[in-house]
């Protein structure tokens, strides 16, 4: 049940501080893991470029003495954030648990496994899309008659890791919708009436998180909208179950 006593403001601040400390610790741990495998991770990140028809060893360059260090920092930070994102999301979500009923806590905890699975699916799908996004951008560059003999490796690494993270976080959206339904903040009827708005919103989000080529946008948007429809059905099932229990 909901806690019988309201926590003082300072205790809420202390809870927030502890949550942020856990988030920082998990991010640091993710960065340490990424640092241990930095060369292997970088080689893995180069694969989409090779699949897009470019030789990573000759196409990617660095122009500064500190270029290697800059690449290393980008790889461990974004790689660590990518690895730690599921736990970071869980810790931030757990910050609101004291204000929820036990049944609601169980529902959110129960969806955490699905959230992790969807995050992995999103990252995997993002990795699959990168080669096509790169090929599309290279064609645009060629069509515009812009010379492109080389690309800075720091820019490439940041682009790939941000895109992977964007896909992973985007696929957490259905879990958020489902949890809002469990908490009674939204219901299936509301979601059905907002289908058109949600579809447009998903397209806008896909445009912001991808390089704006139509193929990559649709690769992100279509599965997300399908998962949104699944959430509507799951929330409707829960509503019918709750109605039967009340009767």
Decide if 203 is inside a domain.
Answer: yes
What is the reported pLDDT for 102?
A: 64
Decide if 150 is inside a domain.
Answer: yes
Decide if 4 is inside a domain.
Answer: no
Three-state SS for 125?
helix
Please tell me the pTM assigned to this model: 0.76
Decide if 2 is inside a domain.
Answer: no
For residue range 87-116, list pLDDT tens digits in order. Answer: 887 787 777 655 566 666 666 666 777 888
CB count in 10 Å sphere of residue 247: 5
Does pLDDT of 5 surpass 60?
no
For residue range 144-179, list pLDDT tens digits in order. Answer: 877 767 888 988 988 888 888 888 888 888 888 888
Q: How many domains does the chain have?
A: 1
Range of the domain at 178: 9-246
- Residue 212, sorted as left (phi over 0), alpha (psi -120 to 50) or beta, turns out to be left
Decide if 238 is inside a domain.
Answer: yes
Decide if 171 is inside a domain.
Answer: yes
Decide if 3 is inside a domain.
Answer: no
- Long-range pairs for 8-15 at CB < 8 Å and ≥24 separation? 15/95, 15/98
Bridge partners (DSSP) of residue 152 are 61
Decide if 237 is inside a domain.
Answer: yes
Cα–Cα distance measured from residue 89 to residue 86, given in angstroms and rounded to the nearest whole number? 5
């Amino acid at each position: 049940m909901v806690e019988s006593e309201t926590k003082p403001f300072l205790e809420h601040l202390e809870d927030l501080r502890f949550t942020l400390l856990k988030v920082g610790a998990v991010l640091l741990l993710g960065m340490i893991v990424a640092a241990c495998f930095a060369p292997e991770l970088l080689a893995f990140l180069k694969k989409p470029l090779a699949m897009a028809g470019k030789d990573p060893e000759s196409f990617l360059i660095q122009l500064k003495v500190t270029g290697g260090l800059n690449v290393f920092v980008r790889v461990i930070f974004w790689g660590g954030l990518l690895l730690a994102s599921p736990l970071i999301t869980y810790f931030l979500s757990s910050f609101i648990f004291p204000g929820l009923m036990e049944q609601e806590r169980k529902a959110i905890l129960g969806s955490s496994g699905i959230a992790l699975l969807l995050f992995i699916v999103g990252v995997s799908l993002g990795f699959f899309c990168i080669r096509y996004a790169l090929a599309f951008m290279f064609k645009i560059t060629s069509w515009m008659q812009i010379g492109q003999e080389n690309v800075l490796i720091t820019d490439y690494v940041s682009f790939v890791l941000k895109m992977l993270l964007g896909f992973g976080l985007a696929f957490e959206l259905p879990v958020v919708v489902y949890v809002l339904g469990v908490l009674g903040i939204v219901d299936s009827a509301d979601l059905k009436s907002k289908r058109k708005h949600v579809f447009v919103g998903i397209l806008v989000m896909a445009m912001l998180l991808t390089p704006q080529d139509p193929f990559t946008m649709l690769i992100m948007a279509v599965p997300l909208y399908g998962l949104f429809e699944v959430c509507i059905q799951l929330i409707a099932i829960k509503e019918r179950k709750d109605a039967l229990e009340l009767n």
